[in-house]
Structure 1
Amino acid sequence: MKKTKIFWGVALFLIVAASFAMGLNHGGEHNMEKGYKVGDMAADFSLKNVDGNMVSLSDFNSAKGFLIIFTCNTCPYAQAYEDRIIALDAKYKPKGVPVIAINPNNPSAKPGDSFAKMKERAAEKGFTFPYLLDEGQNVYPQYGATRTPHVFLLEKTVSGNMVKYIGAIDDNYQDASEVDETFVENAVDAMLAGNEINPKTTKAIGCGIK
């Protein structure tokens, strides 16, 4: 009987240990559980832009909201959306909703996403928005971002920056001309008009954050 109890005790310990290890290995899922949900207030941050300056949401006094887009240099999905991200900034920055792009990848794991390479990419593509490095990878877990690109629409309110939409930019990363659902545009337009956003969440399609 004593041996049986020891056996089951060891088995239970192994099951718990394995479950914990799985939680660590599946960082993306863990981040989504811990990250922001629609209706949450997003904390401000201070991250280095490709121009060398530190950028925070509080710097944008006249903004009505923000399109926080986690993206990077190297992911084919992120590259496919770069022109569309530039277009989003051109359309909505004059309306008070600028794009703030953040590279969440660890340059040690993805050398092509180093700060030097970010500066090169921003210049090559003519980015009109801040392109920030999440140095130390502290910001993306707060948001619960798991992919590049991954969008979080924030609305500036008297209580803080409220998360209004989370997910994909649209429904066709392969071909901008074949897009049926412009999720982000619909969400920003609804927010600015004071209307309900539908859908409030979609599945982000892209590369896992490294």
Structure 2
Amino acid sequence: MKLIKPILLMLCFAALTAGRTAAPNYGVGDTVADFKLKNVDGKMVSLSDYKSGKGVIVIFDCNTCPYSKAYNDRIIALNKKYAAQGFPVITINANDPSDSEGDSFDEMVALAKRKKYDFPYLVDETQNVARAFGATNTPHVFVLKNEGGAFTVAYIGAIDDNARDASSASKKYVEDAVDALLSNKAVPAAKTRAIGCGIKWKNA
């Protein structure tokens, strides 16, 4: 009986820690592993496709969240401003469509067409990419800097400090981060709290 209790404790600990090791949850300064996901045009897109640029702005987003809708035009504007400067936008939808019907792949295609997206809108069907990044909300931004073909995290968090009104935002976190990187300066605020709806996880 004395031996059974320690064994049970070890098994419980292993079960609790197994999920933690499966998701790296990237932090600032970490190198991001390559990923490949399907775009709304049916083509596969990889992070490594952008190795000739200066970096990328990865945004975990969706169709349905009120915060995502509020930030939609700002996300489009970020790509228009920074893609030509070497920091294009990549959006990723990891929501489970069985829990959020408006986030089905067909609905993603329709939204991208309606809003005339000129950047990828990728579906993370397995949710493995979102888990690896440690994404929790929509939108949730990860600005990645290309360092010799390896992408490292330079900023994590919100787009700005005013979800309701872009013109009233006093802090534009993503713009400040990318502007700093383009000027070879330190990012002024490397991490902020992402504001938005929680990602709809499978079997949650």
- TM class by shorter chain equals 0.7 to 0.9
1:34: Cα distance to partner? 3.8
Aligned to 1:191: 181
Contact between 2:40 and 2:121, CA under 8 Å: does it hold in 1? Answer: yes
Q: CA 1:118–1:47 in structure 2 vs 1: closer, same or farther (change >3 Å)?
A: same
CA distance in 1 between counterparts of 2:105 and 2:63 reads 10
1:116 is matched by which residue type in structure 2? D
Q: CA deviation at 1:159?
A: 5.7
> Which of residues 150, 154, 157 is equivalent to 2:147?
157
Output aligned runs, 1:4-83, within 5 Å.
Answer: 20=16, 34-83=24-73
Q: Which residue of 1 aligns with 2:90?
A: 100
Larger radius of gyration: 1
Aligned residue in 2 for 1:202: 192
* Aligned match of 1:124: 114
Gaps of 5+ in 1: none
Task: Name the amino acid aligned to 2:164.
Answer: Q
Q: Which runs of 4+ in 1 moved over 6 A?
A: none
Question: What TM-score results when the alignment is normalised by the length of structure 1?
Answer: 0.85
Q: Report which stretch shifted further, 80-89 or 56-65.
A: 56-65
Q: 1:44 to 1:171 in 2, by over 3 A?
A: same
Q: Secondary structure at the match of 1:203?
A: coil
% identical equivalent positions: 54
Matched, 1:179 2:160: no
Structure 2 Cα separation of the partners of residues 208 and 146 of structure 1: 6
**Pairwise CA distance, 1:135:** 1.2
Aligned length: 193
Q: Secondary structure at the match of 1:41?
A: coil
- Give 3-state SS (helix, strand or coil) of 2:164's partner: coil
- After superposition, the C-alpha distances for 1:132-183 in whole angstroms (9 at most, x for unaligned) are 0001111000000000000000011126101000000000000111100000
CA distance, structure 1, for counterparts of residue 175 and residue 49 of structure 2: 24
Once the two structures are TM-superposed, the CA of residue 109 in structure 1 deviates from its matched residue by 1.4
